[in-house]
């Protein structure tokens, strides 16, 4: 198994859960006929199915002796022809609508032609050719063409005119045809066949009238892998060849009808290929599988496991190649033989002991529908209210026809849980209880992208609480990105999901913690304290790993970078100016200032790492009430307290510098908040701090800070008092009983 596949698998499966029921759909199938497969079930017993006169009639050739003509809608055989015992049909019978004759080949070399009214095949026209025939093709609008096993191509008419004419050998010795088809491109008829030679796959493009031959080599997939199936469409003078490898990769190569060289024996060109799909294959390689192009965007695949149904390969699925989404899926009972035909919106698939006909629709796909914005056509499956406008109508007018997929029981049950986008919120809520991580992620993402956040308010809370409880119950289930996204909506508060912050802490999801601290207005003090504890005890190396909000990081970065800048400034000529000033005998303060500066760096270096500082800042900015915070603060250990205080001191020093840049717009703790925390932490741990010798200097510093703050406040009070006095004076002036005033008149 390849990791890439798994990745793709997961991607598709998620998409599938979203979009499975929109767009292309498989209807309830019916049985056309029973089959007599070989004992070991290696062969379905069907050699080929070809279209008859119209879309409702097919000719089924079995692998032994008989050809049966069916009217499909009636599931009824209309005619049956059998070759004699001992003979066998080696190529599927084709119907030539121009002559209304059937053409088949028995025993490789005998061409048999008959009409519907012929009853006994033995009595009809026979012609024996000189070389083994690979297949007879008769494309609609074209003449029957005979492809010989050695690569030669003849029109049936010209061949019959001289049946024993010599047939040249086109292919090399070890080369053998694996698959062939016949298309009519505008005026020219082409026979396309692929061969295998020593592990190489070659494509021959044989044009008729005039005869041309092009030869291409397919790029090699992994060694030992050759394509399981081919499918061809013709569009815009190009032949699109689609092929499936056993590893689940579906490639497409485009061949030009007007090839470069027409000479025989030309070196085979390697055609470029594009990976259309990487189908989930489960364990092991695909053995009997087939991919068939349905239209420009859809591919029908059999024998490939359904992404959400384990390793069982008995599925028929329709994939959208443009968006790489699974459009419809159907489990087929019994073994799948890797055979698939498609005529006029009906898939013919032999499985087990039956040949089933499964009608399908592939409406024109659009981005909107691929992304799931299309309203589900099937009202019974969608719980969305009728008032939701139909995207179908908006995007496609009335074109989109209602599809009626009939599913197996299993599919239906899984469908139920995998609600789609037009899902009502309760569907999502239902889903996220059980769905895999990726599904949940996509689901929630879709939900958030879909509608107004305001409408979501009530459901976001529920969503998060379900996710949190699931995460708590199931340790392997945790979706940080989704949770972060949900918190970002700002529709949440702590009371709506009380366990979220603690969960984030437990999972060491510090980004989520930061978001919660930022956006939740009601984090209880106990939780704040728990965060503080977690952050402060976090090793710096771990902290740096966390990806945090860029704004808060840039704020701390600015703080720290200024710290460095300052240091360099002090080492530069800044000090000399200081010294110059201290030369002045009257300037005694200069020396003291100098002293302070030299002692400063130890305090001016951030004691914690960048990310840790960011997280601590977040804690500083939360709302709290002292009474409730204090008891929890006491839980901090002494070294953490000291570290925290050092950090607070660092912040305070930074803030109180005169040239502290005002970083507007950036979320940052205010000076008051810092002071409050200093006081709180000191209150909680004062006795302990007094005992610790290393905290002594810190305490002294902090004491001086608090003192200066107190002084500032008292000075402000004085100013307020004097201003008040001024105000009072003005009023009093009016009240006097007698005054002598000077007035001036102009």
Partner 1 sequence: MGEFKVHRVRFFEYMPSPIRAMAFNSRTDRLAVARGDGAVEIFNFADNYFQEKVIPGQDSRAVEALCWVGQRLFSAGLNGEITEYDLENLRPKYTVMAYGGPAWTLSSNNEGTMLAVGCEDGTVKMFEILEERIQFQRNHDRQKGRIISLSWHPSGTHIAAGMMGMIRIFETETGKQTGLTHDWIWSPANKEVVVWSVAFLSDHTVISGDSAGKVQVWDGFTGTLIKTHLITKWDVLALSVSQDQSSLVAGTSEGTVTQFQFLPLIVGQQDKEWVRTRTFKNHSHDVRALAHTETAVVSGGMDTQLVVQPLLDRVEKNTQESALRKIAFPHRSLVCCAKKSGLLLFQFPEHLELWRLGESDGHGKPGDSLPVRKKPEKLIHLKRKGEDHICCSALSPCGGWLAYTTVSSNLKFLLPSPSSSLQLPKLPKELCSAHQLCFSSDSSKLFASSKHSSVIVVALGQSECKYLHTLKPKSGCEIHIYNLNKLKVCLNSVFFIFVTLFGLSLLYLCHVGVMQQFDCDPCLQLHCTVPVYSSCPTAIAIHPVTSNLVTVHANQQIFEYSLAQKEYTEWSRKLQKQGLHNLWLERDTPITHISFNPNNQAHIILHDMFMLCIIDQSLPLPDRKTLLYNQMTLRSVPESERLRHSHAFKICKNFQHLLCVSTLEDQALVVVERPLLDIMSQLPAPVRQKKFAT
Query: Residues interacting with partner 1, by CB under 8 A?
Result: 733, 736-746
Smallest Cα–Cα separation from 171: which of 139, 190, 149, 143?
149
| Pairwise CA distance, residues 45 & 61, whole Å | 9
Q: Least separation, in Å, of the C-beta of 582 and partner 1?
A: 48
Nearest to partner 1 of 473, 745 (CB atom) = 745
**What pairs with residue 244 in β-bridges?**
229, 250
Is the sign of the CA dihedral 348, 349, 350, 351 positive or negative? negative
Q: Least separation, in Å, of the C-beta of 722 and partner 1?
A: 21
- Residue whose entry in the numeric block shows the structure tokens 């009335």: 398
**What pairs with residue 114 in β-bridges?**
102
Nearest to partner 1 of 454, 737 (CB atom) = 737
Asked whether the beta carbons of 207 and 245 are under 8 A apart, the reply is: no
Nearest to partner 1 of 224, 736 (CB atom) = 736
Q: Least separation, in Å, of the C-beta of 733 and partner 1?
A: 7
| Pairwise CA distance, residues 639 & 646, whole Å | 10
Nearest to partner 1 of 236, 744 (CB atom) = 744
Q: Least separation, in Å, of the C-beta of 731 and partner 1?
A: 13
| Pairwise CA distance, residues 605 & 647, whole Å | 9
Q: Least separation, in Å, of the C-beta of 734 and partner 1?
A: 9
- Residues in CB range of 188: below 8 A, 6 or more apart: 207, 208, 209, 257
Q: Least separation, in Å, of the C-beta of 723 and partner 1?
A: 21
Nearest to partner 1 of 260, 735 (CB atom) = 735
Nearest to partner 1 of 39, 739 (CB atom) = 739
Nearest to partner 1 of 260, 729 (CB atom) = 729
Q: Least separation, in Å, of the C-beta of 637 and partner 1?
A: 55
- Residue whose entry in the numeric block shows the structure tokens 């592990």: 199
Asked whether the beta carbons of 376 and 363 are under 8 A apart, the reply is: no
Nearest to partner 1 of 398, 741 (CB atom) = 741
Q: Least separation, in Å, of the C-beta of 742 and partner 1?
A: 5
What are phi and psi for residue 76, nearest 5 degrees?
-130, 130
Smallest Cα–Cα separation from 328: which of 568, 616, 82, 20?
20
What are phi and psi for residue 411, nearest 5 degrees?
-60, -40
- Three-state DSSP state, 326: strand
Q: Least separation, in Å, of the C-beta of 727 and partner 1?
A: 17
Nearest to partner 1 of 198, 730 (CB atom) = 730
Q: Least separation, in Å, of the C-beta of 729 and partner 1?
A: 11
Nearest to partner 1 of 123, 746 (CB atom) = 746
Q: Provide the pairing of β-strand 57-62 with 46-51.
A: antiparallel
Residue 526 CA: distances (Å) to CA of 24, 314, 499, 507, 619: 54, 56, 12, 18, 12
Q: Least separation, in Å, of the C-beta of 740 and partner 1?
A: 4
Q: In what order do the strands lie in the sheet with 133-137?
A: 133-137, 145-148, 153-155
For residue 332 the two structure tokens come to 């087929």
The one-character DSSP state at 336 is B
Asked whether the beta carbons of 305 and 333 are under 8 A apart, the reply is: no
- Residues in CB range of 23: below 8 A, 6 or more apart: 320, 327, 328, 362, 363, 365, 369, 370, 374
Q: Least separation, in Å, of the C-beta of 736 and partner 1?
A: 7
Nearest to partner 1 of 541, 735 (CB atom) = 735
The one-character DSSP state at 607 is S
What are phi and psi for residue 353, nearest 5 degrees?
-115, 25
Nearest to partner 1 of 117, 744 (CB atom) = 744
Smallest Cα–Cα separation from 276: which of 312, 237, 233, 217?
233
Nearest to partner 1 of 687, 738 (CB atom) = 738
Question: Residues, the chain, total?
Answer: 746
**What pairs with residue 291 in β-bridges?**
301
Q: Least separation, in Å, of the C-beta of 730 and partner 1?
A: 12
Q: 709 preceded by cis ω (within 30°)?
A: no
Q: Least separation, in Å, of the C-beta of 735 and partner 1?
A: 9
Nearest to partner 1 of 665, 736 (CB atom) = 736
Nearest to partner 1 of 473, 729 (CB atom) = 729
Q: Least separation, in Å, of the C-beta of 726 and partner 1?
A: 16
Nearest to partner 1 of 627, 739 (CB atom) = 739
Asked whether the beta carbons of 495 and 457 are under 8 A apart, the reply is: no
For residue 340 the two structure tokens come to 């698939």
Smallest Cα–Cα separation from 192: which of 176, 202, 203?
203
- Residues in CB range of 621: below 8 A, 6 or more apart: 517, 518, 667, 668, 669, 673
Asked whether the beta carbons of 230 and 194 are under 8 A apart, the reply is: yes
| Pairwise CA distance, residues 571 & 550, whole Å | 31
| Pairwise CA distance, residues 177 & 179, whole Å | 6
Nearest to partner 1 of 583, 744 (CB atom) = 744
**What pairs with residue 195 in β-bridges?**
177, 202
Smallest Cα–Cα separation from 67: which of 107, 30, 116, 31?
116
């Amino acid at each position: 198994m390849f990791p890439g596949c798994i990745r793709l698998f997961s991607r598709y499966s998620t998409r599938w859960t979203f979009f499975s029921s929109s767009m292309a759909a498989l209807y309830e199938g019916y049985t056309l006929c029973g089959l007599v497969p070989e004992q070991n079930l290696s062969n379905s017993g069907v050699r080929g199915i070809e279209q008859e006169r119209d879309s409702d009639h097919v000719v089924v050739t079995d692998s032994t002796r008989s050809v049966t003509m069916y009217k499909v809608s009636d599931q009824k055989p209309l005619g049956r022809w059998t070759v004699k015992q001992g003979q066998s049909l080696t190529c599927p019978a084709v119907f030539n609508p121009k002559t209304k004759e059937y053409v088949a080949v028995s025993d490789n070399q005998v061409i048999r032609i008959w009409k519907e009214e012929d009853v006994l095949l033995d009595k009809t026209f026979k012609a024996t050719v000189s070389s083994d025939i690979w297949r007879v093709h008769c494309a609609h609008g074209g003449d029957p063409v005979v492809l010989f096993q050695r690569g030669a191509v003849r029109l049936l008419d010209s061949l019959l005119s001289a049946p024993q004419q010599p047939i040249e050998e086109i292919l090399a010795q070890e080369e053998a045809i694996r698959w062939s088809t016949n298309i009519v491109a505008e005026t020219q008829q082409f026979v396309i066949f692929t061969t295998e030679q020593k592990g190489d796959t070659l494509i021959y493009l044989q044009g008729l009238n005039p005869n041309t031959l092009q030869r291409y080599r397919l790029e090699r997939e992994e060694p030992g892998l050759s394509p399981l199936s081919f499918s061809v469409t013709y569009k815009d003078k190009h032949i699109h060849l689609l092929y499936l490898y056993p590893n689940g990769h579906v490639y497409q190569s485009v061949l030009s009808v007007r090839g470069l060289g027409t000479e025989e024996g030309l070196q085979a060109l390697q055609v470029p290929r594009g990976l259309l799909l990487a189908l989930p294959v489960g364990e092991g390689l695909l053995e009997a599988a087939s991919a068939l192009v349905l239209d420009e965007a859809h591919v029908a695949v059999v024998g490939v496991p359904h992404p959400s149904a384990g390793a069982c390969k008995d599925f028929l699925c329709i994939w959208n190649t443009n968006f790489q989404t699974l459009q419809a899926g159907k489990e087929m009972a019994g073994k799948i033989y890797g055979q698939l035909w498609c005529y006029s919106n009906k898939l013919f698939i032999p499985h087990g002991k039956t040949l089933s006909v499964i009608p399908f629709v592939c409406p024109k796909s659009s981005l909107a529908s691929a992304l799931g914005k299309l309203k589900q056509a099937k009202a019974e499956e969608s719980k969305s209210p009728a008032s939701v406008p139909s995207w179908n109508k908006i995007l496609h007018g009335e074109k989109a026809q209602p599809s009626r997929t009939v599913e197996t029981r299993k599919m239906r049950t899984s469908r139920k849980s995998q609600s789609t986008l037009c899902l009502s919120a309760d569907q999502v809520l239902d889903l996220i209880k059980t769905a895999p991580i990726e599904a949940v992620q996509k689901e929630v993402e879709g939900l958030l992208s879909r509608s107004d956040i305001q409408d979501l308010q009530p459901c976001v809370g529920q969503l998060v609480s379900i996710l949190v409880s699931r995460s708590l119950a199931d340790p392997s289930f945790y979706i940080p990105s989704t949770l972060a996204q949900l918190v970002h909506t700002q529709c949440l508060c702590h009371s709506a999901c009380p366990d979220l912050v603690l969960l984030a802490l437990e999972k060491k999801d510090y980004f989520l913690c930061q978001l919660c601290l930022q956006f939740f207005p009601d984090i209880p003090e106990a939780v704040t304290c728990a965060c503080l504890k977690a952050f402060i005890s976090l090793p710096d190396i771990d902290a740096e790993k966390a990806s945090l909000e860029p704004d808060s990081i840039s704020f701390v970065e600015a703080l720290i970078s200024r710290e460095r800048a300052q240091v360099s400034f002090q080492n530069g000529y800044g000090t000399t100016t200081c010294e110059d000033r201290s030369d002045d005998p009257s300037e005694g303060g200069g020396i003291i200032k100098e002293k302070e500066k030299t002692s400063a760096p130890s305090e001016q270096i951030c004691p914690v790492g960048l990310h840790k500082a960011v997280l601590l800042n977040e804690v500083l900015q939360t709302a709290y009430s002292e009474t409730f915070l204090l008891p929890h603060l006491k839980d901090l250990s002494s070294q953490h307290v000291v570290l925290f205080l050092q950090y607070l001191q660092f912040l305070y020093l930074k803030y109180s510098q005169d040239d502290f840049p005002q970083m507007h717009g950036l979320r940052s703790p205010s000076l008051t908040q810092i002071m409050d925390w200093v006081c709180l932490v000191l209150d909680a741990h004062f006795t302990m701090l007094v005992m610790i010798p290393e905290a002594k200097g810190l305490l002294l510093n902090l004491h001086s800070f608090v003192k200066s703050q107190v002084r500032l406040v008292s000075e402000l009070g004085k100013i307020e008092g004097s201003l008040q006095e001024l105000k009072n004076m003005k009023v009093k002036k009016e009240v006097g009983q007698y005054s002598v005033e000077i007035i001036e008149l102009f």
